Structures are given as structure tokens and as C-alpha cells.
A = this chain, B = another copy of it.
Amino acid sequence: MAAPAATSFYISTSSSSSAVYSSTKSLKPALSSNSGFLSTSSPSLKALKAKSHSYNVSRSGGALNVCMVAAPAAVKAPMSLDFETSVFKKEKVTLSGHDEYIVKGGRDLFKLLPDAFKGIKQIGVIGWGSQGPAQAQNLRDSLAEAKSDIVVKIGLRKGSRSFAEARAAGFTEENGTLGDLYETISGSDLVLLLISDAAQADNYEDVFSHMKPNSILGLSHGFLLGHLQSLDLDFPKNISVIAVCPKGMGPSVRRLYVQGKEINGAGINASFAVHQDIDGRATDVALGWSVSLGSPFTFATTLEQEYRSDIFGERGILLGAVHGIVESLFRRYTENGMSEELAYKNTVECITGNISRTISTKGMLALYNSLDAEGKKVFATAYSASYYPCMEILYECYEDVATGSEIRSVVLAGRRFSEKEGLPAFPMGKIDQTRMWKVGERVRATRPSGDLGPLYPFTAGVYVALMMAQIEVLRKKGHSYSEIINESVIESVDSLNPFMHARGVSFMVDNCSTTARLGSRKWAPRFDYNLTQQALVAVDNNLPINMDLMTNFVCDPVHEAIEVCARLRPTVDISVPADADFVRPELRQTVN
């Protein structure tokens, strides 16, 4: 059993009346529960913060040696990203006291697309990987509904095996919606460059040179900017450069769009950025693009903040960190005598099922509050021991991304996929052949339909600690709450985890974008090792719970901001049928 031995202090809350107790000092019930969410403006909460203590426990070094934070981190104002649109309706949302501006989506807005896309006759969608098929089909369907005659044309490299896939999705040479990559670029007024990051890095010169003057380059990721920056380069000056970045992988973007046909716009939130606007059209084109994808809400960012949070996020809770966590916990649980099947359920199934669903619908505090007293103690033990070890790796990862090292590493890895300099080619390997993932196959094969797995408090404590640590790093690095919450919470529990629940974490790590997959392989082991060497050792040594950390968790203003964001999306949960036809060819082969 992985549960820790008795610890001195824990936070006990019940669903009707949440309170923080310590065995030495009883703090009067101070947290009033409000549908699982707590108001941070409550005076009693402030009193609670003021009363909380820093326990100077003896710690073994490393991440557990970090400075204690005695109160919830002082939050500096995130960058303000305002914008003007003449087509859509800009709205203000207040997240944790900060005003941010968004555009809500919905199928009733498709009629505005011709106006938003003024001057655009053809949209070239370049590439057929994760985002390509999803965005191309959503765009086509949305424009058809708007009775627009804008052509959505797929551009692929000659000889690409994806031609057959695109044809199967209804894009054909005959009707002018499928063609050669560079011909498609030359003939398009808006070019959505959705080839892999490594391919962008290797081919951007040809892409730029084929673009029409005054056309618009659309990216779904800031990666290319990061790459150009590392080479001291910039985009050509005679085109506009925009980005719409769905906060979920392509298959989710498509799946929720299809599901959302019934309920006016279920989908994946997206950020948008205008990096270069040569004629004033850029913002509305970007917003039109986002609305046509089905984004429930679209928030503003910069290409730079986007690639930082995105590349970081997929190495963190979206893929890399969650992979590292379950490897570490599965090993611990089995070493402590738990059966393999139960250990799998108490790690992977628990995170991708129960925990994700609860956070998605009710938030992190509700997850904690749903535990009984013993469960809360276990959660707090795990949270307290894991928070800083998770943050240590996240922090390192963020800085490696921000300084360009991670982007360079991805580009180099792409080049090692082929033989060079006398050294052999190293295509990316699979991770799903190890013991744990074989167990996972068995567990999923016998799982009752709709089963969300157990709620294992120790796993929940580690996972939520990771989520809170990621939020804190992004916050301190100046990201907007919209970006933070989409990247750290919504994308995880609404887009990726349900797919993982259907097919296992390893399946996702083997099937996301190349950049994400490379990053996950690189960072998952780091989270695993740091948890194993720091957090689990601390638990085994019965280090007391860090009460400040638990107080900060309960009082963090992010919970309220998450609640605001959650209200902005239609309440439809993604469903992932095993025979889904919207996924990438590679995904499909595994199913058939």
C-alpha cells in the first residue's frame, strides 16, 4: 500500500462545511463551500492565510528544500492583451480579479465568416497530421453552413501517403480541394501551415517564398517563431502572420465539433495571436478561423507566449508529466504489494477517468472535498510531498523552452530521424511495450462501459500538486489566466485525458504531434525520477504535511477563475468511440 503512515497535520473539509484544522491549533471553520468552489474574497479566508504557519521540518534536500511560501503567492498582473474586432463581439471576463478579453464561439456565428474572411477565395490547409484533418474538415463544414464559396484545399508533399486519407475525407484533386503543397500555398489567400514543427523548421524558406504578397500565414503554434528567433530571423514583411491555437489535439478539435452540431458549438477553446498585420484584416481573419473550428471561446495571446506555454504544457501535465507520474506511482504501488491490475486502475484509470471528470465538471477543490477524512489526509500527504518536486522539473522545462533550447532540441531530433554524419537514423520509438502498458491493455479490455476508475487519494494528491505547480509556474512567468487555465486544466481534463482513458497514456505519448511526443519522452523520466527520489522518499520518511502548501491550495484564486472559464464552454463531454473515423491514420491502424 502506498498510503503514508500517520502524519501530524491534515486539512479536513466536508462537503457542507470546509475547514482547516491542525492538531495544535484549531482554526475555526473558515472555508464556505459554494458548489465545490470557494470564494477568495471571503474575509475569513484572509484570516486563515494570516494565521497559517510555516512548519520548519527537516528535509532531505532538493525540491523539498525549497523556500516555504507562507501565503498564497502574490500574483503579479498577467499581461493585458486587448484587441479590436469589427465582425465579432469582444467580451470582458474577469479571472481572479484580472480583466481579460475573449470572443465566444457558436454555430450561430458561422454566418459572420464571409465577412471575417473578406478577400479570401482559397484557404490552403498544409499538412495532414494531427491538426490538419480536424481543422480542414471543421473549416469546410462551417463555411458550407455559411453558404460561403471559399475553397478549403489540402496541400501535401508529392507522394505523401496522406493523399488517400484526405481523399477519404472528401478532399480530391478533381474538385480542386487537394493538391501539391507548394502549388496550394501559391494559390491560397490564407495558408494554414499545419505540418510538423520539425518540417516547418526545415522548409520555412520554401513556404515563405511560395506565398502570395499580402496573403496571410496562419499557424496553430508559435514554434516557427521560436525557431526563427533562435536563428535571428523573422517572417517576410509582405504577409500577415496570425495564429489560432486550439488547446487540444486535432482529433479532439474534430470530435467535439462533430458532437457540438447538436448543441451550438461544443469544441476546444483556442488562443489567437496577431504577430504581423499588413492591412488590418488579421484580427478578424484569425477570429473567423477560430470560430469556424468551433472554439467555445477564443482568447488573445502572443506567438511567443503561445509557444512557451504550449511546448511547456505538453511536456508538463498534458503528456510528459502525467506519463512520468503514472510510471512512478505504478512502480511504487506494485512494489508495495498492490496487484498490477489494481495499481493500473489506481494510477492511469484514476487520473484519466475519475479525477479528470471531477476536475472538468466541478474543479480541483471539489475533488479534494469529495474525499473522506482519511482520504483527505492521504491526498494532503501526497500533495505536500509532490508539489515542489513537480515544480522543480516544470520550472526547468519552462526555462529551457523560453530560452530556445527545447526548440533547438526538437529540430535536432527531427534531423536524427534520418542517417547523417555516419551515425544511424533514430526514428522515434514506442513506449507501450513495457509491463505497465501491457497491464493497461488488459484493464481496458475488461472495463465496463462508462467506468471512470477509482478515486485513489494518493494519486489524486500527486496529480493535483502537478496541476497547481504548473499553474504557478505559468502565473509567475506572466501568462494570462485564460492561457494558464486552458493549458493546464481544460486541455488536460477535457481533451487529452479522455483520449488517454480510452486508449492509455502510452497511446497518447505515441500518437501526438512530433514535438509533443519528443518532449514527453524527454521529460516524463525526469518527473518520474524527481517524484521517486524526492516526494516518495519524503512520504516514506513520514515528513509532516506542509500546511502552508495545503492552505495555499485551498485559497488559490485560480479555482474561481477555472469556474469562470468552465461556464464559458457548452457542457458536453468528449466521447471517444473505438472506431472513431476522425483520428490520424496511425491511430486508426492500432484500433483495426
Contact = CB atoms under 8 A, between A and B. Distances in A.
A258 B202 CA distance: 55
Given A62-B429, A426-B63, A405 B409 contact: yes
A145 interface: no
Interface stretch (A155-163, A376-384, A518-526): A518-526
A396 B424 contact: no
A419 interface: yes
Given A409-B400, A419-B67, A526-B522, A426 B395 contact: yes
A80 interface: no
A423 B409 contact: no
Contact of A425 (B66, B74, B405): B66
Nearest to A532: B434
A120 to B, nearest CB: 39
B428 A66 contact: no
Contacts of A529: 431, 521, 524-525, 528
B423 A395 contact: yes
Size class of A's contact patch? 35 or more
A422 interface: yes
Contacts of A74: 422
Given A396-B413, A413-B396, A60 B405 contact: no
Contacts of A403: 408, 412
A430 B62 contact: yes
A279 to B, nearest CB: 36
A396 B522 CA distance: 10
Contact of A66 (B61, B392, B424): B424
A81 interface: no
A67 B428 contact: no
Interface in A574-588: none
A421 interface: yes
Contact of A533 (B416, B426, B430): B430
A385 to B, nearest CB: 12
Please provide the 3 A-B residue pairs with the shortest distance between their CB atoms, ordered closest to farther: A62-B429, A525-B525, A405-B405
Given A388-B424, A403-B408, A429-B530, 11 more contacts: A60-B433, A65-B425, A392-B429, A396-B416, A399-B412, A400-B412, A405-B409, A433-B541, A434-B537, A524-B529, A528-B529
